[in-house]
Structure 1
Amino acid sequence: MTITVGPLRVEDAEAMVAAEDEETIRRLTGGRSTVEGTREYVHRLAENARAGSTKRAFTIRVDDECVGSIDHDADPQDGIGPGDVNIAFALAPWLRGRGITARAVDLVCAELSRQGAGERAVIRCQADNIGSVRVAEKAGFAYARDALSTSEDDEHGDPVRFRVYVREL
């Protein structure tokens, strides 16, 4: 099994939508994706990059098949400070628990380090998101602190509490 990370392309939209499940919707996207909406997202990311945005998105590929996504963003936000680069990810449910996402995170961290893109990589996740906690730990991240969201609420209307994991780049 060969795990790679490559640029998110319009051609990957169908595979991205097929890899989405209720967990991905709840934890990351906030709503069911469509192929057309995903294509628009790819175009919007490219436009934002040209305008100076630090957010970049990639596909996670297993044996050259798109099975998920991973992105990084250095814009300060909840739990993310100057010099930090936030990493977020989603993987097809049928491939979870096999170390694929941790390997993709390693690949992204290596590239960020080569580019000198920040001082630390950060993974933020809710404490009950056991899968993301495991990815952070497998990829060599250490728990740093909890942070309350200023922009996201949980199902009770309270600010989401993120667990923040960090790794030096």
Structure 2
Amino acid sequence: MVVELRPLTHGDAEAHCAGEDEATVRWLTGDYGTVEGARAHFDLLAENAAAGRGKRGFGVWTGGRLAGYVDFDPDVNDGLEPHDVNLSYAVHPWARGAGLASQAVLAICQHLREQGIGQRAAIRVEPENAASVRVAESCGFRHVRRFTSSTDTRDDGSPVPLSVYVLDL
């Protein structure tokens, strides 16, 4: 399967929300989204893209179907060095295991290079998230450190330990 990254629109919100599952909530979002919330988030991403600042994101498409999501945020600094750009991604359950997350990460890294955004792409991941660690490693990211997040917390309020993987842009 080959991926294409496209900005998300209001018309994609239902498919985006339908693609969330327990793994998405556990490792990325913290809760299931709503169509209205997704549309508001897509509007924010579009505004940021137009302004050339903040978090910007894309739908991950394959075979004409929304298969996931990838974003980058140059403003995240928790555990990162200056000029690192944080990446986040999720693949819908039906599309997992086909390498789509890796393709999306490499595509977003190419976008960062082309736009001159940042010096390194960074993936902050809970070490227990084996699938995301595999994505980072398969894309050539190198592990640089573990740290305790000052912004991410577990359901019980305790801080989340994270590993940082980086790739020079």
Task: Give the paired residue count.
Answer: 169
CA distance in 2, matches of 1:4, 1:51: 23
Q: Percent identity?
A: 45
**8 Å Cα contact 2:58/2:70 also seen in 1:** yes
Rounded to whole Å, the distance in 2 between the matches of 1:87 and 1:134 is 15
Write out per-residue CA displacement over residues 101-142 of structure 1, whole angstroms, 9 at most, x where no aligned residue. Answer: 101111110111111111100001100001100110111111
Q: Which residue of 2 aligns with 1:137?
A: 137
Which runs of structure 2 are paired with 1:61-140 in the superposition (5 Å)? Answer: 61-140=61-140
Alpha-carbon shift at residue 156 of structure 1 (Å): 4.5
**Letter of the structure 2 residue corresponding to residue 148 of structure 1:** T
The offset of 1:47, in angstroms, is 3.3
Aligned to 1:18: 18
CA RMSD of aligned residues (A): 1.5
Partner letter of residue 27 of structure 1?
A: W
Is there any run of 5+ residues in structure 2 with no aligned partner, and where?
none
Does structure 2 retain, via aligned residues, the 8 Å contact 1:20–1:92?
A: yes
Tell me the equivalent position of 1:42: 42
C-alpha separation in 2, matches of 1:24 and 1:76: 20
Structure 2 CA distance for aligned equivalents of residues 49 and 4 of structure 1: 17
Q: Distance in 1 between matches of 2:63 and 2:6?
A: 12
Query: Any conservation in 2 of the 1:127–1:163 contact (CA below 8 Å)?
Result: yes
Q: What amino acid maps onto 1:74 in structure 2? A: P
Greater shift in the superposed pair: 46-55 or 137-146: 46-55
Q: Is the 8 A contact 2:86 2:122 kept in 1?
A: yes
2:168 is aligned with 1:168: yes
TM-score with structure 2 setting the length = 0.93
Q: Distance in 1 between matches of 2:111 and 2:118?
A: 11
Unaligned runs of at least 5 residues, structure 1: none
- Cα distance in structure 2, aligned partners of 1:102 and 1:78: 23
Partner of 1:160: helix, strand, or coil? strand
**1:12 and 1:147 mapped to 2: Cα distance?**
35
Q: Distance in 1 between matches of 2:31 and 2:76?
A: 24
Runs of 4 or more, structure 1, over 6 Å off, are: none
